[in-house]
Amino acid sequence: METIPITLPEERRKVPFRLAVASGKGGTGKSCVAASLILAAEDRVLAVDADVECPNLGGLLDWEKWESAPVRIPRPQVDPDRCDGCGACADACRFSAMLVFGKGPARVNDLCHGCGACALVCPKGAIFEEGVPVGWMTRGRGRGRDVLEGRLSVGQANPVPVLEELLAVAVGKGRDLVVDCPPGTSCSLVAALRLCSEALFVTECTPFGAADLSLALDVAEALQKPAMVVLNRSDLGDGGAEELCRRRNIPVVARFPFSRAIAEAYASGIPPYLVDEAWRSAMDALWAELKERSR
């Protein structure tokens, strides 16, 4: 995979921490928590938007985009002059991405995972790989914080290469990271969590939120990442999420009741940290604790 030439001021710190803000269920307030925590942090933190299918962190930080670069994945290309249609590539491909008809040259379709097996087995050396763009990485700055955003192009099926490239670049900076993760509990959450050191899960307190939080905690456990929870809209729903955290021994670091004022501010891109005292003090305290722990 090609390295993206994005330059951010390097900083040397002993143990930078990399906090994943994730959720399981979507729309529970991940980006609000991530943006608020970033505002509570000192300005050396790097805000990373890893929700590459629907990135919204930059908007909440009112950012100005500075520089973008495409993220590419390797795609096989077949040299029709060298290919004799032997079919070795189609036999080797586990994803049915190479098709050979008769003696015609092999053709590649969208099922390609970019694993390189076809080029490896081609006896004629007819397959070479070329980077094709599947998304964008953008850096910028907003509300006094550096922001790095990954964005999958519409129509692309696999968000993981964009996520991995984004996190590799972010981790390479050696700074504290707050990573706004994608919702769900599948491969994209795994890709984001793998490169983070701990996870903060934001849940709403309905049975929906609790059920999805439980699955997300399973992922964190399997990857051996310590987890914490924020209970959002804690007054709407039931006690299921709270009970789940107690049972699984997961610390609840904040509880926020529903607020129309917060919802209205969020609607126009203003994170809760800037409009609500309870959010501000909780996020300041959480940041202080995270810093203390990473020392």
Which residues lie near other proteins (CB under 8 A)?
A: 1, 23-28, 31, 53-54, 56, 59-60, 74, 92, 94-95, 113-117, 120-121, 152, 154-159, 182-190, 194, 204-208, 211-212, 215-216, 218-219, 222-223, 233, 236-238, 258, 260, 263-264, 266-269
The crossing angle, in degrees rounded to 10, of helices 240-248 and 207-222 is 20
Nearer to other proteins, 42 or 221 (CB): 221
- In angstroms, give the least distance from the CB of 205 to other proteins: 8
Nearer to other proteins, 222 or 288 (CB): 222
Residue 29's nearest CA partner among 188, 228, 209 is 209
Nearer to other proteins, 57 or 78 (CB): 57
Residue 38's nearest CA partner among 225, 287, 281, 251 is 287
Nearer to other proteins, 156 or 283 (CB): 156
- In angstroms, give the least distance from the CB of 93 to other proteins: 8
- In angstroms, give the least distance from the CB of 291 to other proteins: 28
CB half-sphere exposure, 172, CA atoms < 13 A = 13
- In angstroms, give the least distance from the CB of 164 to other proteins: 8
- In angstroms, give the least distance from the CB of 63 to other proteins: 12
Nearer to other proteins, 210 or 290 (CB): 210
**In whole angstroms, what is the distance from residue 269 CA to residue 146 CA?**
17
